[in-house]
Amino acid sequence: MKSVNIKSRVLIAIIVMAAIFTSCKNSTVSAKKEVEKKEAEKPDIIELSEAQMKAVDIELGTIEMKNLNSVVKSSGQLEVPPQNKASVNSLVPGIIKKILVLEGNYIHQGQTLAVLENTDIVRLQQDYLTLKKEFVYTQQEYQRQKELNTESAGTGKVFQQAASKYETDKARLAGMETQLQQLGINPASVAGGDFTKQIPILAPINGVIGHITVKTGSFVDMQTSLMDIVDNSKVHCDLQVYEKDLFKVKAGQKVEFVLTNQNNKQIAGIIYGINQSFENENKSIIVHAQINNTGSLKLLPGMYVSALINTGNQNVQAVPVDAVVSAEGKQYMFLLTSDEEKKAEDGNTEKVLPFKKIEVATGVSELGYIEITPLEEIPKNARIVTKGAFYILSKSGGGEEEH
């Protein structure tokens, strides 16, 4: 009988303990849900005391209206104007006897690049010398008939014939002299009986010799290009600007270039011309930009560049660049939601400031300020963190990325 009473008491004790455990567990779950509910009511809220803010030098301010430069992003490549590129050709067919330059040589306008031989130019010199000697007699006959006609001692018909031949031979002689000069032959030397069967090929512009397409002994005609010359002193940039940005771009605007193959070094320039027709199906217009100061950079046609075209100023919402931080591929700033005093966790009374993380879209950046567009509505004249935002981001658990 006594054994039965003991078992009954043990059973009652187990039931009581189970009830107490269940009650405690329900209380814990209820408290946890209450905490989660309170946290859900204040999403992305980070609280800092005044002491913390002072320790990490956090500063507050407001969103300002700033006059920042607006830019158009573009890309393109370096080019030289057509007047600074030349193909070297011969005015007459012939055999290349000498080549006096190498690829990469810098040459001056009028410098002899090669020597061409053509026996036909001997015949031209013979004809010139013959005509020049005949012209002496023609000129004398013209003067004699002119004097006779003045004294009425000759006939008008003979004078007219002499005058006609004089003018004709004079024009022919001038034409032959021009041909000889174009070929690099001195007419005075030919008049003295000094003939040549070789003519120099002269450089039409200053510049650097490009690809030489002929060799000694090659036969060339007037359509054959012997070599190319490029004058890189007038190199400029051709940029592609798309239709949506075309109305923003004007002559005289400043441009900043970045040369991708020159360690991303920046150079400055200015827009001087805009084409008036689309280049391709992408609806892009070629915009020509002069390069102001290349310094020690070696610029060659065909180099690719990225560019920012400064299209003017505009008033936009802006904050200091330190006010914006990055996390998970997005941009944020921190908004002060209240500045009321609260009781700290240790029981002391101190001022605790709550901040809310606000996602923003950023734009142009200049002089330490960056354009921002909040992605949610914020109160007018709201106070924001202008310095030390990265510290608050780290407290919110999003400080693994650089700001």
For residue 87, being part of any structural domain is answered with no
For residue 52, being part of any structural domain is answered with yes
pLDDT of residue 152: 66
pTM above the 0.75 mark? no
Last residue of a domain, one of 167, 196, 225: 196
β-bridge mates for residue 69, sequence order: 313
For residue 166, being part of any structural domain is answered with yes
Residue type, 98: K
pLDDT of residue 41: 46
pLDDT of residue 271: 92
β-bridge mates for residue 369, sequence order: 320, 366
- Domain that includes residue 346, residue range: 41-67+315-395
Which ranges of 186-334 does DSSP label H, i.e. alpha helix? 187-191, 243-246
β-bridge mates for residue 3, sequence order: none
pLDDT digits (tens, 9 = 90+) for 313-352: 778 888 888 889 988 888 998 888 875 545 555 556 667 8
pLDDT of residue 146: 80
Last residue of a domain, one of 196, 214, 248: 196
For residue 238, being part of any structural domain is answered with no
Question: Do the beta carbons of residue 66 and residue 363 sit within 8 Å?
Answer: no
Rounded Cα distance, 180 and 127, in Å:
11
For residue 225, being part of any structural domain is answered with no
For the domain that residue 358 is a member of, what is the CATH number?
Answer: 2.40.420.20
Instruction: Provide the greatest CA pair distance for the chain.
Output: 183
For residue 93, being part of any structural domain is answered with no
Domain count, the chain: 2
Which ranges of 70-155 does DSSP label H, i.e. alpha helix? 120-150
Rounded Cα distance, 17 and 114, in Å:
113
Q: What is the pLDDT along the chain (403 residues), one digit of tens a residue?
A: 445 456 566 566 666 566 665 655 555 545 455 544 444 444 567 888 888 888 888 888 888 888 777 788 888 898 998 899 999 999 889 999 999 999 999 999 999 999 999 888 888 888 888 888 888 888 888 888 887 777 665 567 787 888 888 888 889 888 888 888 888 888 888 888 888 888 899 999 999 999 999 999 999 998 989 999 999 888 899 999 988 888 888 899 888 888 876 666 778 899 999 988 887 677 789 999 998 876 667 788 888 888 888 887 778 888 888 889 988 888 998 888 875 545 555 556 667 888 888 899 988 777 778 888 898 888 888 888 888 888 888 877 654 444 4
Last residue of a domain, one of 196, 228, 259: 196
β-bridge mates for residue 45, sequence order: 356
Report DSSP letters for 82-101, one per residue. Answer: GGGEEEEE-SS-EEEEEE--
Residue that has been written with the tokens 């021009």 in this structure: 178
Identify whether residues 58 and 123 lie together within a single domain: no
For residue 220, being part of any structural domain is answered with no
Q: For residue 317, what are the contacts with CB-CB under 8 A and spacing of at least 6?
A: 63, 64, 65, 66, 371, 372, 373
Rounded Cα distance, 46 and 51, in Å:
15
For residue 365, being part of any structural domain is answered with yes
Closest to 167 (Cα-Cα) out of 139, 191, 186: 139
Rounded Cα distance, 56 and 364, in Å:
28
